[in-house]
Structure 1
Amino acid sequence: MIRFYSPDTTKCLIVRTEGDTRYIYNGDEIKYILDTNYVKLDISKIAKLGQCIYVCWDDEGYDWQAIVDGAEIIESKLDTNKFKVKTQLPLNERGTPTEIKFRGENCAIYSYYSNSLSPDNNGAIIK
């Protein structure tokens, strides 16, 4: 289980993986599987090398926005007025997926393969 905090630590999301299923929860504490406040993703078609989560805080009117590129949303019980989960990276002007947005301020990329957070611009804190 990985906790992602905004740079000011006022917002948090938790990512938990069980086999080919990944859950993203809003909040900083989970004692058991909640019936609300999460999105459930199938990550079985994502190569291990490509497994990342892209996060931006206070983005496009949402408290946070997360992308798990290549995943399939199985179930969503998040408040869609506050939180956004997508399964495809934004496209550049040539139609190619790009992670440039997530290298900016208040954003971060976490790679499961390298177990690392980038960039080093304090876009997120993980615990």
Structure 2
Amino acid sequence: MPTAPFTWPVRVYWEDTDAGGVVYHASYLRFFERARSEWLRAQGVDQLAFKEATGLAFMVRSMELDFLRPALLDDELSVTVAIQEWRAASILFGQAIGRADGTELVRAQVRVACVDLRRMRPAPIPADLIPGLDPSKT
């Protein structure tokens, strides 16, 4: 089990903001998604190869966000990813977005389900998906 949260850097561009240069709320969802995807990549999981080999993919099941402070145009942000719970067919992630100075901007809990794409039904996460990770210890 990774001991420290995974961190992914993000810079805020015009496309992420409203007319006032404040990050639009839906942009945070993209930032969280990118960080989870990069976390999987850092664990050695190629999502396309995983999908093609197993017929499985991860989909967001639920998400709870707490907007604390706004991010602004050109801000350099860090997005963190940490496993809070690992179940047979889902993972609950704790995520946060903050500035380099440590100011926390957004917190999220994201439950991601493993889904059989042919049937569009939940499916068990393969036990050996992430080498060295023991899901029974989460």
Instruction: Give the greater-gyration-radius structure (CA).
Output: 2
Query: Normalized against structure 1, the TM-score is what?
Result: 0.27
Query: Normalized against structure 2, the TM-score is what?
Result: 0.26
Answer 1 or 2: which has greater strand percent.
Answer: 1
Q: Which has the higher contact order (CA 8 A, sep 6+)?
A: 2
